[in-house]
């Protein structure tokens, strides 16, 4: 998976992409669509804003529901994916809007939730 | 269900007298980020995160790596705030079966354990590792981290400079977790935390009686107290002594 998992990866929403160009981030969103090539997919965050995630290798599985992506923000404000994991929703649906609210809190109170 | 291991939180054989004394002072389980644990400063046996004393902590993250050895399982748990942290879980070699099942990489887990430092490297010794079944717990956890550290810091600033343990009722009662204590903080509701703290601080050999708890906790009905005691007992925080009306804390000195 590489070095990106050894460094802090701030949790962000679509609105924060521009502030993290070139940096490792962690993005959680709901799968909206997958490109036919399987090399890119679109996620929506808790505010409904879309982010494009690119892969170096095409997807080898069905992707749906809520996905957490670790990757680097490109100059085009997309995310170059290093790894991803699907959140389990078999027992309860994931409240993405609440997660977005939590992001606001951890950004506002950075000193109590440090990245790095 | 979960992966409860016997060594660790309650009277661990590795615990020295000094360690047990220190545990009395920081008797709460504090939710933390890996970055906070890595930044914690150590003075003798004590760890501090920005002057707040910590010992037992919870972290939530994804397992990146799992390695099974004869006596322990070593995980690397990643919560995105730093590099993955080493989490060691001792295996009960007498028991075969589910205790020794390794949680697979790619699983989100909640870890409860003690912070350790060896040769300047931090790690956790886990007494509980549980896969998350509901990812909303993760959202709650990150909010609890901010809440807990903010309140711990406030308590520290407003209290006198003498180091003292604060009751986890402080965390539960403030920051909107009060009232019926329906939203658990650190795994315990406000009521459970209050009952546990009274039992922990009771110096009497036969422990605290239900009557004494009722006497001290005016806002709680006997039914609520009994419910809290039953929960704490089943979780292993307390045990009955002379009869079913008297309880002691498993973490007491």
Q: For residue A19, what are the contacts with CB-CB under 8 A and spacing of at least 6?
A: none
Asked if the model's pLDDT at residue B26 lies above 90, the reply is: no
Cα dihedral across residues A19, A105, B2, B40: positive or negative: positive
CB crowding A22-31: b at 16 or more within 10 Å, else e: eebbbbbbbb
With contact defined as beta carbons under 8 Å apart, do B147 and B153 qualify? no
Question: Does the predicted model carry a pTM greater than 0.80?
Answer: no
Q: How far apart are the CA of B235 and the nearest CA of chain A, in angstroms?
A: 23
Chain A residue whose CA is closest to B82: A8
Domain spans, chain B: 29-156, 190-249
CB atoms within 10 A of CB A96: 22
Distance from C-alpha of B89 to C-alpha of B71, rounded to nearest angstrom: 9
B29-156 architecture in CATH?
Answer: Beta Barrel (2.40)
B163-220 pLDDT, tens digit per residue, is 444 444 444 333 333 333 344 556 788 888 889 989 988 888 888 999 989 888 887 8
Which pLDDT belongs to residue B185? 52
Could you state, in order of their start, the residue ranges of all structural domains in chain A?
Answer: 11-108
**Interface residues from chain A to B (CB-CB < 8 Å):** 1, 5-11, 26, 66, 70, 85, 87-89, 91-92, 94-95, 98-99, 102, 105-106, 109, 112-116
Closest Cα partner for B188 from B234, B129, B252?
B234
A–B CB contacts, 8 A cutoff, strictly below: 75
Place B15 in a pLDDT band, splitting at 50, 70 and 90: very low
Chain B positions touching A11 (Cβ under 8 A) are 80
Cβ within 8 Å of residue B98, ≥6 positions away:
none
User: Looking at the complex, does the CB of residue B78 fall below 8 Å from at least one CB of chain A?
Assistant: yes
B190-249 has CATH 1.10.10.10 classification: yes
Per-residue pLDDT tens, chain A, 116 aa: give them: 458 999 999 999 999 999 999 999 999 999 999 999 999 999 999 999 999 999 999 999 999 999 999 999 999 999 999 999 999 999 999 999 999 999 999 999 999 999 98
Chain B nearest-CA residue for A6: B83
pLDDT tens-digit readout, A72-96 = 999 999 999 999 999 999 999 999 9
The pLDDT of residue B189 is 83
User: Does CATH place domain A11-108 in 3.40.50.720?
Assistant: no
């Amino acid at each position: 998976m590489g070095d990106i998992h050894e460094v802090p990866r701030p949790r962000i929403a679509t609105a924060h992409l521009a502030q993290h160009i070139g940096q490792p981030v962690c993005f959680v969103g709901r799968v909206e669509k997958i490109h036919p090539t399987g090399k890119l997919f679109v996620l929506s965050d808790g505010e409904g804003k879309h982010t494009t995630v690119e892969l170096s290798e095409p997807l080898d599985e069905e992707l749906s529901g809520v996905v957490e992506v670790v990757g680097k923000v490109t100059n085009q404000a997309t995310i170059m994916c290093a790894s991803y994991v699907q959140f389990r929703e078999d027992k309860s649906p994931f409240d993405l809007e609440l997660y977005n609210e939590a992001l606001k809190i951890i950004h506002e109170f950075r000193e109590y939730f440090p990245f790095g | 269900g979960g992966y409860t291991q016997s060594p660790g939180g309650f009277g661990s054989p590795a615990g020295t007298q000094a360690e047990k004394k220190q545990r009395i002072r920081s008797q709460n389980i504090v939710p933390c980020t890996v970055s906070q644990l890595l930044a914690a400063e150590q003075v003798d046996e004590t760890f501090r995160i920005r002057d707040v004393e910590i010992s037992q902590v919870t972290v939530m993250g994804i397992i990146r790596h799992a390695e099974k050895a004869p006596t322990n399982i070593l995980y690397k748990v990643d919560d995105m705030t730093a590099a993955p942290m080493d989490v060691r879980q001792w295996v009960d070699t007498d028991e075969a079966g589910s205790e020794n099942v390794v949680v697979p990489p790619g699983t989100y887990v909640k870890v409860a354990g003690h912070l350790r430092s060896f040769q300047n490297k931090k790690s956790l010794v886990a007494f509980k590792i549980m896969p998350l079944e509901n990812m909303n717990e993760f959202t709650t956890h990150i909010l609890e981290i901010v809440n807990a550290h903010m309140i711990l810091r406030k308590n520290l600033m407003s209290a006198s400079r003498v180091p003292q343990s604060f009751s986890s009722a402080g965390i539960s009662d403030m920051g909107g977790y009060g009232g019926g204590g329906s939203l658990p903080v650190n795994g315990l509701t406000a009521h459970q935390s209050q009952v546990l703290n009274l039992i922990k601080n009771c110096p009497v050999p036969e422990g605290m009686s239900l009557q004494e708890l009722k006497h001290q906790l005016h806002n709680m009905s006997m039914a609520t107290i009994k419910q809290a005691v039953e929960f704490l007992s089943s979780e292993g925080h307390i045990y009955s002594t002379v009869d079913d009306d008297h309880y002691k804390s498993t973490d007491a000195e």
